[in-house]
Structure 1
């Protein structure tokens, strides 16, 4: 409602007649009647408010892990809760405290015992396997991405051409050398490679700035540091750890990707 309508409504609720309200607010009686009818004003009752019905959203989808636990008749309800909490951070003590509402001392003893229980161990193994299947990513997948970033260069993303232009003065006149020959200069045109030739997972940012194209790759020094950390953590018995790095720009004649290091 407008300020004038609100003021007219207040006068109406105080018992003023239609004519007095119309005269006070410089409107016609019919205009006031229209406001009254449209807003549902009634003396002795608050104005009607529009009620917006809430549309029911789609029912919440129950995670597959919960469905699987509900179907397990070998576990108690608290044991099922323990499994769910344990999968969050793999801490048996914390999981027991949350599921059984117990103190740390009790949970520290009983948590490890429950974790060793055959039915619980079996259920957790199945849920862990489901997590791996649903996630479709491993530590090696992440390391492979770091390896790509670590050895990426702008040449993987951009290309350039060189052309010649005549040198002119501010008025557009071509400048001549001492032999009256036009002076030329070499100009480099930098541009992105065709989209289907670019591995966009290497590109953090690309935009056109005031001086031309700006392309920013992910920090290769940071990627190398993370990659070295992965290799160090996974090195066993003094053996070197290798990562199968597939580069998007190395393809055979059939269009299939090949691993780097494979002979051309």
Structure 2
């Protein structure tokens, strides 16, 4: 049997990555790469047995490692050492190179700030970060097109998606003080007298413009930036449509206008999205 096949047998028997690597004199990443490429799978019984197996106690201080940002099967890379890989993992947690360096290597802020810049300029670091980001995007099940579709939704949203507008017509009345009037307020009794329009001789009227919030079950809340009640009225702030449009226009192909007229934004955007999808489909194929 080859070294890799022997390693597989040990892995399926419950042996840890680091122990397999030490036994066969290979890098830890090599063992993980064997496991990933050849799709080694332990059965549940082996996993349980492995989890409950006690390891020998040591007095060695445990190494500080990066948080579990990605699955255990990290991209294989023999160019970087463990601390450099830990730096990359910490960097992807906050996108703060100085903080990532301090977490991986320790030391003062000044030293970390200086060394982090050199780390980020390292070709091996940049390559590994690219691989990690690609793996993260697969785990998130999100693509650039998903984000663009979100911006397209924002760019084409309208306040009428959230609010209802209507106008009501009301007859106009005078409020006349009358001690025998049917109504009462702080000033005493009163009654209402129709207000007559001198031009028509008929009762005058006025219009009231009403704005109401739609039922929550009918609202797409993803396009609402904030909503609050001010003096009993709903105040709604939508996501910035102009910002969303600009982001889309920067990303999408320039619309073709041959007749000098203004092409509608929606047609331009949806046409551009179709081109992007077509381009991505061709690349995937």
| TM-score w.r.t. length of structure 2 | 0.43
| TM-score w.r.t. length of structure 1 | 0.46
Structure ID, larger Rg? 1
